[in-house]
Structure 1
Amino acid sequence: LMLNEDAAHACVTDLGKLGVVQFTDLNTGQTAFQRRYVSQIKRCDELERKIRYFQAEIKKFNMNLASAGNVDGFLDETVTGLTGAKLLDRLENALEEHEKELLQMNSLSAQLTKEYNEKVELQQTLMKSQEFFEEDMTELRERGMVGAPGQFQAGGNLLDARGDSDMRFSYVTGVVKREDKARFERMLFRATRGNCYVKFAEIEHAIDDPATGTLMYKNAFAIFFKSQAIESKIAKICDAFSASRYRVPDIEDVAERNRLLDEVSTD
């Protein structure tokens, strides 16, 4: 079959619609990048990638996709002056626009989900840390990490025992994945050689992961220690476990704690 190059695309399109022709590759020794029409093949691959992306998003949100008809009906669509090349251009423009819109919506959704999760985690950290402070002060005093009652200093994360630096301690609060709790605690113990006190509390409700869309269960934690060198180690371990850290007011700063709780509860 001898064809003029300008008419080849239209002729092959018509033959393809018949569905009775099988083409034989006469350039089997050439790689895909050595062929003359490699650019068109790349364009088709890119279109397929975008369609697969749409399918993955539809599946992720458990949506039912209505059928748009069959391929033959799409190819037989009669549009004045629409050749195979122009049809490819139209598909590229349409899919590119849809992909751009979907990427923007996903980005906005992920940002909103992240901000919401941070509010929920901060709220839970405030509530659980209050329980930590109230329930575990006796044990902390027995460990020598806290001074006598009434010696907390507001306005920071250090609780001072009348200027005695040996009785001063700091704390870090935040949330970590529940599945990482045991490894997280072991790593803290090894890194600080046991010179810290860790307390966990489960967060009852699952939190949506904006990156994967899956639900995760997390634990709130509070880590008490008395050395700035230990604090830097704790920060590195938190980063390694992707644990979120949140600053909370001291136990005696009730007004600030209530203000933060009201703020995250009403947003």
Structure 2
Amino acid sequence: LNPHVNDFQRRYVSEVRRCSEMERKLRWVAGELPEPPPPPKPDRCSLSPREINILEERIDFIESEIQEITRNARNLKSDYLSLIELRTLIEKMQTFFQDHSAQRKISASVQIYNNDAVLGHLGFIAGVVTTARIPAFEKMLWRISHGNIFFKQAQIDEPLKDPITGHELQKTVFVVFFHGEQIKLRVKKVCHGFKATLYPCPATYKDQLDMLAGVGTRIKDLEMVLEQTENHRRLVLTNIARDISTWMVAVRKEKAIYHTLNMFSMDIVKKCLIAECWVPRRDLTVVQKALENGVKASGSPIPSILHYVPTHETPPTFNRTNKFTRGFQNLIDSYGIASYREVNPALYTIITFPFLFAVMFGDVGHGIIMAAFAAILVIYEKKFSKVQTDNEIWNIFFGGRYIILLMGIFSIYTGLIYNDMFSKSLNIFGTSWRNVYEDGVLKNHSMLELDPKTAYTQTPYPFGLDPAWQFASNNIIFLNSFKMKLSIIFGVIHMAFGVTMSVVNFNFFKKQEMIFLQYIPQILFLLLLFWYLCLLMFMKWIMYSAVAE
């Protein structure tokens, strides 16, 4: 009623934004849960404004608490990663400084300048960098120093975990020996550019042991704190998981209510909301009852008024369905929705769609499997319907369980007609063909031809295809021809039925002239082109045989 009003100028836009923000926070909290939350609790009425305020405050508090816990855990993991890298660095440094070659032995006397050690006349910087960057890192150091550095590296055996993403990181410990303050500054800039982490490391063996012991103690303490933090976070999320689905449903319901109220228009004094809607005529009492219940629940002394508005607009199409017909109606609606008061083809599709599928499928064994699967879904449908899942494949199968059931049943029937069970024939009634050759002839020939004049008993197989065709060399040629003819016959009947249904619409809308201008030309074209073909098939089956003159 207010299409000229901008979406941001409508009356309840602030409430819609509020609900959208709560929904966003709940989605974020649900993404932090280690497992999918349980289904929502049984449905209840919409929340009161006071309950919405309480729920909003609780959602804000939960979001802030989880964000703080996550932020603290991330910081602790970053510190833990740094300590692990430092411990590994010190262990590798001990091997770097232990060189027993007389020509390259380095004195143990050191001077410490701002956490950077100077070994004799050589200074060194130690740190950790990503393994993939080592080749480029070493090449850059070599270029900026013109070869006046000594670079040693050792890869960390166990991969480390990124505290933010949780991905595994392959890192390498390195130490760069250099001479002079200018080269030292250049090396630090290169390390910063390659995102290498630098750590202060003593040069003497005794100081390294003391630092290693201190780092080990800090790692044990941090592991204990990390475990307690993770347990606390898991406990908080477990308590939230019980109600988050119910909260999500309540918030979405409130958002839908305010979104609908935005489509209402206000009266002149802006104290009454006015809305127009299409309602099935037989459901008017249901709508009136719902309005009365809403007035009672809100405690308003003013009743809601339902008034019939005459209009010349074409109403939207509404097809009433149940759990059996819903799947077939959705199938029809995926192709197109019929106009108002037109014949609904979903009723006839209940039979035609599964049967035409079975004409193509036609296997007893696979039909039994399909029917059994659908029967399980139908028998336990109340149990399965309570399971809320976003798995699209499962929702498609469960929504079309009755379609699959009928397709399986019809496939069993057509499979018996084709005498096909897992590509094998069933000899239930005994073949109508007999052997006319002696044993000696059979032993000397791998393939013989049976003349239907003498080998066929002229009595058809009681039901379906004779099992003797299973062993025929022209089995595929015969069956393909047989199935193709059946498909054409059923397809033409189906098309003729669909065209004939338009006559019902023409009579209902009082467009009898369309019967002569549209229906008759269409059916004549179909008759002259396709029904003549079907007639020839029946004539061939009836008039011609091996014993006919």
Normalization by structure 2: what TM-score?
Answer: 0.36
* Counterpart in the other structure of 1:11: none
- In structure 2, the residue matched to 1:6 is none
Partner of 1:198: 151
Q: Which residue in 2 is equivalent to 1:69? A: 40
* 1:158 corresponds to: 118
2:9, 2:135 → 1: CA distance?
55
Q: Structure 1 residues 233 and 95, CA, compared in 2 at 3 Å: closer, same or farther?
A: same
Instruction: Identify the structure with the greater strand proportion.
Output: 1
**Partner AA of 1:36 in structure 2:** R
SS of the aligned residue for 1:194 comes to coil
Deviation at 1:137, TM superposition (A): 6.9
Q: 1:128 aligns with which of 75, 92, 98?
A: 92
1:63-212, aligned counterparts within 5 Å? 63-69=34-40, 73-74=42-43, 76-77=44-45, 82-83=47-48, 85-135=49-99, 141=104, 149=105, 151-156=107-112, 157-160=117-120, 168-212=121-165
Cα distance in 1, alignment partners of residues 101 and 164 from structure 2: 38
| Alpha-carbon distance, 1:224 to partner | 1.2
Give the number of the structure whose residues are more often helix, by fraction.
Answer: 2
Residues 129 and 197 in structure 2, CA contact (< 8 A), matched pair in contact too? yes
Which whole-Å deviations, capped at 9, do the CAs of 1:189-245 have from their partners, x for residues lacking one?
233333222221111122222222222121101111112112112212222222111
Max Rg structure: 2
The letter of the residue matching 2:154 is A
What SS does structure 2 have at the residue aligned with 1:94? helix
2:2 aligned to 23, 26, 43, which one? 26
Give the Å deviation of 1:126: 0.6
Q: Partner of 1:51: helix, strand, or coil?
A: helix
Q: Matched residues in 2 for 1:45 and 1:240: separation?
A: 42
Cα 1:33–1:188, aligned 2, differ >3 Å: closer, same or farther?
farther
Q: 1:88 to 1:258 in 2, by over 3 A?
A: same
Aligned in 2, Cα 1:243/1:138: closer, same or farther, shift over 3 Å?
farther
Q: Match of 1:246, as an amino acid?
A: Y
> Residues 263 and 87 from structure 1, CA distance in 2 versus in 1: closer, same or farther, beyond 3 angstroms?
same
1:48 pairs with 2:6: no
**Closer/same/farther in 2, CA of residues 134 and 94 from structure 1, 3 Å limit:** same
Contact 2:30-2:37 at 8 Å conserved across structures: no
Q: How big is each residue's C-alpha offset from its partner over 1:147-192, in whole Å with a ceiling of 9 and x where there is no partner?
A: xx463423421122xxxxxxx1111101111222223223322333
CA displacement at 1:37 relative to structure 2: 2.7
Distance 1:232 1:137 in 2: 30
CA distance 1:128–1:94, shift in 2 (3 Å): same
Equivalent AA in structure 2 for residue 199 of structure 1:
K
What is the SS of the residue equivalent to 2:98?
helix
Q: Provide the TM-score with structure 1 as the length reference.
A: 0.71
Q: d(CA) in 2 for partners of 1:235 and 1:112? A: 26
Alignment partners' CA distance in 1, 2:101 and 2:45: 76
How many residues were matched structurally? 214
**Partner of residue 211, structure 2:** 260
Would you say the 8 A contact 1:155–1:249 is kept in 2? no
